[in-house]
Amino acid sequence: MATSTTESGDFSIANAANMSPLSAYQVLAAVFLGYVALNRYQYWKKTPKVMPLGFGSLPWLGPWIGTVRLLRDPVKLIREGMAKSNNGLMRIATIQGEYILVSDRNKVAEYLRAPDSVLNAQEGANDQQQIPFTMGYGVGHRTYHTPVVRGPITQSINAWTPLLVDECCQSLEEMIGSPRDHKAIALYDVIAMTVGRMANRVYVGTDFCRNKEYLSNAADYAQAVVITSEMIRPFPSWFKGILVRFMPVMRHRKAGERFLGPYIQERLNGKLDEFGEKPTDLVQRLIDAAPPIERTVPQLAERVMALNVASIHTTTMTLTSVLYTLAAEREKYQEVLRNEVLENLEDGQVTVKTLGNLPKMESFLRESGRFNNNGLMAMQRNVKKDFTFSDGTVLPAGAKVGALTLALHRDPEVYENPDVFDGFRFLQSGPSVSKPSTLVNTRASLHVFGHGRHPCPGRFLAVHEMKIIFSTLLLQYNWELAPGTEPKTFYIATMFVPDTKLKVGVNLVTEG
């Protein structure tokens, strides 16, 4: 029996050795086609049966064509999809993969109600910003900072208001000064530095919030996170970890650790504040909440830097858009908003009570958030288990879904004349209105800070900072766009980036 098997084996090997080149190529071709067929089947299986946008008629090249079209003119392509879609769903291809965009607010409400075991928000955020690679594995997978920000940090905002106002005034005085004649300034840079100073005043104190090298590194880190996340996205996970080691984002992270290291170590050693009491700033709150694996200098510094990204980048982009809009329509809004602040000052100061009685400013902020879309896609979720919409459309496991901001913020069924900016659109009146809605109140049709089960936990501090800066600017300065200029809108795929180089003319407010 053994001999027979050997002979049979020898015969097969001999046959293979004597196989003609044509036959060998046929076998290789069959293997290759089998691999391609399996690959396409797996792609088809996890691809929702939803209208593809901009894919063209070539099935093999469709996603590549769609990606190029999205990069060239995302707004035009998205508007085409909004006009064609009959169920509020469309599929787009980006450098980082394919997404299902949801433009119907009822469907958005449906998917936002899904538990994380089905549609996962943290994995969606990790994908969007490549958090485990750009900010650190712990930041992306051990999110103990979220309840810290949502709880004790938010609860301390009113007590911190005098500190925030003081830091804002000092920052604007240093960066703008007191120009009697128009002075051209890069508004984005002013806002980024001021937001950074205010946030770090309550994060780590005056030693850091007034350290220009520390602040510059924090701002550069925030920008590097955004850029790096886009650059590494197409690569496999194992290679991303290698790539980031040679990119500026890692250099800025390490610099942040060098700045913060001694300060954090003192806190880990139990250092008390000047009154002999346990401090209540962000670092101490993080130390108290951190699991043992995260209670180290490198990990805590990494966490503070990550929260700087969240506080500086989003707040700066949102407020810069607000101020550009006001500069473009200053005759209509600037004096009205300034007078509202003046009427609510207490002993000439901006206070918690002042900030709580600015309904016109609240409306202007909300309308700017609605009109100046901060990105075309928001509230991304990664599909862990098949999810079925009420109309029967299935999102298979492995897909990615997000809300189409442009459609929701410009929904004609919700907003009258949605493509027109109306700064007082949200101004409520009448005896039945006890408290105006603010930018922190989220909904599907206005989601600057997200909506549903996972809205941004830092939105209360962010809006508080924006209102302080906005109020202080109104009290001290006039600003306007130079004749013939206007802010340019930039998109990297679905991500909105405001015009960071535009200069505006600023001069001191004079009485009378």
| Backbone CA torsion sign across 197, 198, 203, 204 | positive
Range 107-134 burial, b when 16+ CB lie within 10 A, else e: bbebbbebeeebbbbbbbbbbbbbbbbb
Letter string b/e over residues 203-241, b meaning 16 or more CB atoms within 10 A of that residue's CB: bbbeebbbbeebbebbbebbbbbbebbbbbbeeeeeebe
CB 111 within 8 A of CB 387: yes
Characterize the bridge pairing of strands 477-481 and 387-388: unpaired
Structure tokens at 137: 């594995």
CB 322 within 8 A of CB 316: no
What sign has the CA pseudo-torsion 461, 462, 466, 469?
positive
Burial of 497 from C-beta contacts in 10 A (0-12 / 13-18 / 19+): middle
DSSP label at residue 291: -
Phi, psi values for residue 183, rounded to 5°? -120, 125
Cα distance between residue 507 and residue 178, in whole Å: 7
Residue 64 identity: W
CA dist 342 → 335, 339, 347, 351 (Å): 10, 5, 10, 12
The residue assigned the tokens 């990550």 is 306
- Residue owning tokens 């700064």: 423
Element housing 349 (H / E): none
Q: Which two tokens stand for residue 486?
A: 């206007």
Residue pointed to by tokens 């169920």: 87
Strands (E), 106-205: 119-120, 183-186
Quote the CA–CA distance of 342 and 160 in Å, as a whole number.
21
Token digits of residue 30 = 């069959």
Q: Is 209 annotated as a binding residue?
A: no
> CA 487 to CA 172: how far, in whole Å?
22
Query: How far apart are the C-alpha atoms of 220 and 248, rounded to whole Å?
Result: 9
Where b means 16+ CB within 10 Å and e means fewer, 423-436 reads bbbbbeeeeeeeeb
CA pair distance 176, 473, nearest whole angstrom: 10
Which of the 8 DSSP states describes residue 153? I
Q: Binding site for heme: which residues?
A: 456
* Residues contributing to the annotated binding site: 456
